[in-house]
């Protein structure tokens, strides 16, 4: 493979970026100077002919890689037949097939029902509406660090970065944020070992929230990212997740798993929550479900998704072309890609652990993940002081070194390539990452 090593971004890329900057909403965040020409698997090329390893996968979306031939074929065939008919008004088989498949892999016992959406935020909106409708309760518990989307309902649950909320108040009432299990940065200010031995986050719900501000019997749902994504790729302890299930069971509260980023095989299982042996009542899915075609889903226990005709709907949701892409995606994920995610993820985790010894900002880092949802939180010292500026520099240098990698949390980097990535691309990406980290640490005078 020929790699063009001209300055990045090249002149063609710069021209597109300049036009984009003049016309697109300035609200779009964290844009990197990469202008795609085409993609194949886990590799992409910019309009100046430079090649990149893609560890970002369009924010953990392109599960089967860029333009997988089977996905392209399914999209093409469906588009030739019909592109839209409105699933809220008429029927089509490919939508039913997707719902049947999702119901069959739902991470809870018993029958499931499915509502298809266009995006992750819509899946979350659907889930909170359903929880309120079914329980006839209003309050929702969400976690600090959570990202559930940017429409008003899901943004009310989001508590990741204040810029995402600033200027948009007031939000949907009845949302209560509580600390999320993260011994590396215990929100109760406790030492890591003490927090690991006994996390107080679930206790906070029962001993503080329920006693002082919110009656347990008024709570419709607890919404949980089984791995916090945008908030830093934080993997919680199993005990914490189980405690949340117990609280829900005791008080008739629904447990919603927001698997928009962590689901569809990314963590080596269909759903991240399965790593904890806990069954949710409602699951939100999107991102990787259709290899980049817009699709999401609310998957709920059948008795819960019993709302009446007309209670919820959407013009575009369950788009036939997206559904065709989803069917092939789910098949590919089931038949090898999920397993590959587990294997390649283990390799990346080991490689990052090995890098600790050569890199000051990895020495005390939180390196955590499941499958191909791996985060490394760069820190300056034993006290876990976030190396935010350095993390930003790594992202910028990575582009110059031919690697797409996204940040998360205050000083984290996410390793979230396509689930089909092979060992050669993983190694190449890791080399480019380490080179970028070395250069950033040198520039900061740390090496």
Ligand X SMILES: Cc1ncc(COP(=O)(O)O)c(C=O)c1O
**Whole-number Å distance between alpha carbons of 2 and 98:** 40
Of the candidates 261, 344, 393, 436, which one interacts with ligand X according to CB under 6 A? 261
Per-residue binding string, ligand X, 276-295, x by CB under 6 A, is: ----------x---------
387 with 411: CB under 8 angstroms?
A: yes
**Whole-number Å distance between alpha carbons of 244 and 255:** 8
Q: Which is nearer to ligand X, 297 or 376 (CB)?
A: 297
Q: Is 156 in the site for ligand X (CB under 6 A)?
A: no
Query: Among residue numbers 206 through 245, which ones bind ligand X (CB under 6 A)?
Result: 225, 229-230
Which residues, other chains included, contact 327 with Cβ-Cβ below 8 Å and sequence gap of 6+? 74, 94, 97, 98, 101
The DSSP result for 349-409, as a single string, is HHHHHHHGGG-HHHHT-EEEEETTEEEEE-BSSTT--B-HHHHHHHHHHHHHTTEE-EEET
Q: Which is nearer to ligand X, 257 or 397 (CB)?
A: 257
Q: Which is nearer to ligand X, 300 or 355 (CB)?
A: 300
CB of 409 to ligand X, least distance (A): 12
Query: Among residue numbers 116 through 155, which ones bind ligand X (CB under 6 A)?
Result: 119-121, 124, 147-149
- List the beta bridge partners of residue 222: 141, 255
Helix, strand, or coil here: 220?
Answer: strand
CB of 287 to ligand X, least distance (A): 6
Q: Which residue from 340, 355, 372 is spatially nearest to 233, judged by alpha carbons?
A: 372
Q: What angle do CA 251, 253, 256 make, to 5 degrees?
A: 150
Q: Which is nearer to ligand X, 224 or 440 (CB)?
A: 224
Q: Which residue from 386, 290, 231, 377 is spatially nearest to 72, judged by alpha carbons?
A: 290
Per-residue binding string, ligand X, 172-211, x by CB under 6 A, is: ----------------------------------------
Query: Among residue numbers 90 through 119, which ones bind ligand X (CB under 6 A)?
Result: 119
CB of 225 to ligand X, least distance (A): 5
CB of 294 to ligand X, least distance (A): 8
Q: Is 62 in the site for ligand X (CB under 6 A)?
A: no
Q: Which is nearer to ligand X, 123 or 355 (CB)?
A: 123
The closest residue (CB) to ligand X is: 120
**Whole-number Å distance between alpha carbons of 282 and 221:** 10
Q: Which is nearer to ligand X, 45 or 147 (CB)?
A: 147
CB of 219 to ligand X, least distance (A): 20
**Whole-number Å distance between alpha carbons of 81 and 349:** 44
Q: Which is nearer to ligand X, 46 or 225 (CB)?
A: 225
Q: Which is nearer to ligand X, 318 or 360 (CB)?
A: 318
Q: Which residue from 189, 178, 223 is spatially nearest to 384, judged by alpha carbons?
A: 189
Which residues, other chains included, contact 408 with Cβ-Cβ below 8 Å and sequence gap of 6+? 229, 230, 231, 232, 233, 375, 414
Binding residues (CB under 6 A) for ligand X: these are: 59, 119-121, 124, 147-149, 225, 229-230, 258, 260-261, 286
């Amino acid at each position: 493979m020929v790699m063009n090593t001209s300055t990045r971004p090249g002149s063609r890329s710069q021209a597109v970026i300049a036009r984009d900057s003049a016309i697109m909403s300035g609200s779009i965040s964290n844009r990197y100077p990469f202008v795609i020409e085409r993609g194949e698997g886990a590799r992409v090329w910019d309009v100046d002919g430079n090649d990149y390893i893609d560890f970002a996968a369009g924010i953990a979306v392109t599960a089967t890689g860029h333009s997988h031939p089977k996905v392209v074929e399914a999209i093409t065939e469906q588009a030739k037949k019909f592109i839209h008919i409105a699933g809220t008004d008429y029927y089509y088989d490919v939508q039913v097939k997707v719902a049947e498949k999702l119901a069959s892999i739902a991470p809870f016992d018993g029958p499931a029902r499915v509502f298809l959406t266009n995006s992750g935020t819509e899946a979350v909106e659907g889930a909170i509406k359903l929880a309120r409708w079914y329980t006839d309760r209003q309050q929702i518990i969400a976690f600090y660090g959570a990202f559930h989307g940017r429409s008003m309902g899901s943004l009310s649950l989001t508590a990741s970065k204040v810029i995402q909320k600033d200027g948009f108040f007031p939000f949907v009432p009845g949302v209560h944020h509580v600390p999320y299990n993260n011994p590396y940065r215990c929100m109760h200010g406790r030492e890591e070992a003490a927090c690991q031995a006994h996390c107080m986050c679930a206790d906070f719900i029962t001993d503080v929230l329920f006693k002082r501000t919110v009656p347990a019997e008024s709570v419709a749902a607890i919404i949980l990212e089984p791995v916090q994504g945008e908030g830093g790729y934080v993997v919680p302890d199993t005990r914490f997740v189980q405690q949340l299930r117990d609280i829900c069971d005791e008080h008739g509260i629904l447990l919603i798993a927001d698997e928009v980023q962590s689901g569809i095989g990314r963590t080596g299982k269909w759903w991240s929550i399965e790593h904890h042996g806990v069954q949710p009542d409602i699951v939100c899915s999107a991102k990787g479900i259709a290899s980049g075609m817009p699709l999401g889903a609310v998957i709920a226990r059948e008795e819960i998704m019993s709302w009446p005709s007309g209670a919820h709907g959407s013009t575009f949701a369950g788009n036939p072309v997206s559904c065709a892409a989803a069917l092939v995606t789910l098949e590919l994920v089931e038949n090898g890609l999920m397993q590959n995610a587990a294997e390649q993820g283990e390799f990346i985790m080991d490689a990052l652990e090995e890098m600790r010894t050569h890199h000051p900002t990895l020495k005390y880092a939180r390196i955590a993940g499941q499958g191909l949802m791996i985060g490394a939180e760069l820190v300056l010292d034993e006290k876990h002081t976030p190396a935010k500026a350095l993390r930003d520099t790594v992202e910028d240098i990575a582009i110059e070194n031919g690697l797409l990698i996204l940040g998360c949390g205050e000083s984290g980097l996410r390793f979230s390539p396509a689930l089909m990535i092979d060992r050669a691309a993983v190694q190449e990406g890791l080399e480019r990452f380490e080179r970028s980290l070395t250069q950033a640490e040198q520039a900061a005078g740390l090496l």
